[in-house]
Structure 1
């Protein structure tokens, strides 16, 4: 007799956090669409993921350092050597121990969100939403609005007790959050939820948002001024889960890891913002019309017992949600963005910003309450804009990332626009940033940069026009290309790794001096 499902903490797979990485893995899977999933097919997919640098093993890092450093391709013999010498100590239900289970770990979240469907011995399926995500990310610079729309479509439908999960909790997390905030607003005039209260949302048993709002308010009354201890939050969360199993539900998972991942997921929809320096979450008023639509149409949902029917439900796009425009005009958004940029430039020291850039350079986690919740590629644009603003007092810095009503970045600059525009009386510069390393920098970054720079030079012929490209490491092909376009088209592109960028900011008083650093 099967065990009765238990209450569990809301937990998404953290193997895949970056939407662009999810889409890249999904694009590889889509090459085998409608093919029957077998062990042999999984191994073909594994080989492609290794070949395209989407998955890197310890064996590669030990024996192929130079190839990794220079972005050189593996031949088929080398790929098979890597696979054979990289046994995966991993087991997932329904898959053999090893690479099969690793495959399931990679794609489990995409399956739950309705982007793909797979089962051993059955055809691989990519949904309409999955194809939209792949296409959105493949467009030059990534279409942040469309990517956010795809994740909103997925998360507004997502159900705790879906057929891919055995949990007793019955709610839809995003509608539950939005409805709870709305009730808090009606009762107190303030819809914000403290990040330490998020474990209550993660562990809530059903979809009764009124009871959840009352639970939060009663807790606040007993513990005023948001002076909560993790021990107290943990104790309350375990009671909601009807559990005393501290090994199954660790305090770090309930009070930190689960909270951070929840905030990242909810912010991917662009409906949620951070307030109070990252200590509160709230509805992004720029997207209030979308929030209203989700509350109206997805609070009550039809439960799906069959995996395929749930996949078809999740994998269908709600065209209405994509067509709802932002509630605020572009001029207001731009004003909020620049005001926030100035605030961060004044509030943080240059050293703090340099340390955050170094974290990205070394793939280290940020400890900052707010920065850690901004996805890394977007965070790099934000930090670079702040650093430029701090270093050059007479420089006007105009980033093109999208923002919420707090002026915090929600997605990085979309295709067709430079990441950051920089002006002073004599200079017109563009700055492009990327976490991408290896020879792919040339096609994905340098060639578009040259195109952007040529356009800007035509529009501003009286000024000194140049471009900065900033990344953790610069591939030698990029240096070679910069020399070529300088000779061939008289376009100045300065490639700077993050360490060189920081050093340049510390030793110059004018942005153009970075060209000669």
Structure 2
């Protein structure tokens, strides 16, 4: 297993940094992609194209918003090399002739005749561009703005100093040839990110993040950069989540939960993996229904309020008022028992000791197994705490039957009482099948 894979699986580092390393090192036409003839470093091509395109577009007296999605899928992803200046020239020429509207006939001719790329269906270009950009978004460095046919890909305002440092560090980038897969993987493992390798660069990144959040610091505040940046990141994520909460509709959110609970055959509007989507929906629903005060989601968000990934390991999924929430889409008995029990108990005890107050703890999953319910019953007695596992469908009922947060607390306490009083089998039957 590679170092990056180990960090990714065990969440030892921020996933945005892991993806940044992978994307910076990404070579189309590397030994693992022998069918790809392009000799391009597509992520670096993208950020250098966006940077130069914005500068050149502004020189022409226009507002620079980034690169349009169709320009990305055709001009950038069509690059066979690392000549980003030529790519920008082609985009500007296109805009001169066709404006900002997508011209399918021209793009087809450009890709499959002028560049002589392998012909595919035009619709497939959209799917491919979406797939590539989803990976780029995971860096936290790029963001999609706008809607419909006017979607722009641009730099994240919050992380702009990171982009700036990459543009400086990799200004002479080129395509490297690798003799085998091992050599290429080793190259990826050793990619350097300026903000992780240089104290002054990291300090400038943090200053820019603080400025973005309208926060001022004294020089003495920079003694521990890790703590300082983590604090700024959390403020940014909370702000982004609050924006998403304001724009959401409680009924639509509950319908989304029904999709995850297999109570609806509708298609989700969120292009987010199910486990991450469940945590996200819980945060949105609690914030929308009962307010955002004391709502702490430990996901990593982009500035549109869309979750990119989980935070590094060791944190509770979601905290709200006196509740600790753990969410999982795991249905397998052994996996649920091994992954979603002892860690929850530990989080509960540590949080209770730290906050010096009684807390409620809740596990939410599509299905709850007997062994898991038994473990929670033991913990409720052992720690004299209000802790219980419930299904997604029961959580929906809990929300629908609790017009205010006090009712939510009371109704959850009834689950705890039921868990303690009834036979464990009766409890899981009542939450899984009723």
- Provide TM-score, normalisation by structure 1: 0.64
* Distance change in 2, residues 1:501/1:258 (3 Å): same
* Cross-structure match for 1:316: 189
- Call closer, same or farther: CA 1:341–1:158 in 2, change over 3 Å: closer
1:159·1:171 contact (CA, 8 Å) conserved in 2? yes
CA deviations 1:421-462 (Å, max 9, x no partner) are: 112xxxx11112222232222332221111111222223445
- CA displacement at 1:469 relative to structure 2: 1.4
Show CA shifts across 1:176-232 (max 9, x none).
Answer: 0010111122123535223333212222232221222233344344444x5537677
Once residues 236 and 341 of structure 1 are traced to their aligned partners in structure 2, the CA distance between those partners, rounded to angstroms, is: 41
Out of 470-479 and 444-453, give the one that drifted further: 470-479
Q: CA deviation at 1:384?
A: 1.5
Contact kept? 1:398, 1:422, Cα under 8 Å: yes
Q: RMSD between aligned alpha carbons?
A: 3.1
Give the drift of 1:262. Answer: 0.5
Counterparts of 1:214 and 1:516, CA distance in 2:
66
* Paired position in structure 2 for 1:492: 386
Query: Is the contact between residue 254 and residue 396 of structure 2 (CA under 8 Å) also seen in structure 1?
Result: yes
**Counterpart residue number, 2:354:** 459
Distance 1:492 1:231 in 2: 63
Distance 1:242 1:398, change over 3 A: same
Q: Is the 8 A contact 1:162 1:310 kept in 2?
A: no
Task: Deviation per CA, 1:135-163: give whole Å up to 9, x if none.
Answer: 5523xxx3350x43333222212222223
Distance, in Å, in 2 between the alignment partners of 1:493 and 1:458 is: 16
Instruction: Return 5+ residue gaps in structure 1 as ranges.
Output: 1-125
Give the secondary structure class of the aligned counterpart of 2:340.
Answer: helix
Output the CA distance in 1 between the equivalents of 2:55 and 2:365.
46
- 1:480 matched to 2:348? The reply is no
Kept in 1: contact 2:25–2:188 (CA 8 A):
no
Deviation at 1:385, TM superposition (A): 0.6
8 Å CA contact 1:433, 1:469 repeated in 2 = yes
Separation in structure 2 between the aligned mates of residue 313 and residue 471 of structure 1, nearest angstrom: 39
Detail structure 1 runs of 4+ shifted over 6 Å in the superposition.
229-232
CA contact (8 A) 2:298 2:310 kept: yes
Mapping of 1:320-399 within 5 angstroms? Answer: 320-321=193-194, 322-323=196-197, 325=202, 326-327=205-206, 328-329=209-210, 330=229, 331-362=231-262, 368=269, 371-372=270-271, 374-393=272-291, 396-399=294-297
Q: Label 1:167 to 1:338 Cα distance change in 2 as closer, same or farther (>3 A).
A: closer
Q: Quick one: structure 1 residues 317 and 289, their matched pair in 2 at CA, closer, same or farther if it must change by over 3 Å? A: farther
User: What is the aligned partner in structure 1 of residue 69 from structure 2?
Assistant: 195
Indicate conservation of the 8 Å contact 1:377/1:412, yes or no.
no
CA distance in 1, matches of 2:375, 2:146: 45
- Tell me which residue corresponds to 2:18: 150
Q: What CA distance in whole angstroms lies between the structure 2 residues aligned with 1:204 and 1:297?
A: 22
1:134 is aligned to 2:28? no
Query: Which residue matches 1:167?
Result: 36
**Structure 2, gaps ≥5 residues long:** 59-63, 211-228, 416-434
Contact 2:82 2:174 in 1 (8 A): no
- Measure, in 2, the Cα distance between the counterparts of 1:458 and 1:204: 56
Does residue 271 (structure 1) correspond to residue 141 (structure 2)? The answer is yes
Moved more, 318-327 or 388-397: 318-327
* Change in CA separation of 1:268 and 1:252 when aligned onto 2, cut-off 3 Å: same
**What is the SS of the residue equivalent to 1:443?**
helix
Q: By how many angstroms is 1:265 displaced?
A: 1.3
Give the aligned length: 372
Contact preservation (8 Å) 1:205, 1:240: no
- Structure 1 residues 158 and 319: CA distance shift in structure 2, 3 A: closer
Matching residue of 1:215: 90
What are the superposed Cα offsets for residues 317-360 of structure 1, whole Å, 9 maximum, x if unpaired? 23555446454245544443333323222322123223333444
2:80 matches 1:205: yes
1:437 matches 2:322: no
Alignment partner, residue 179 of structure 2: 306
**Structure 2 counterpart of 1:251:** 122
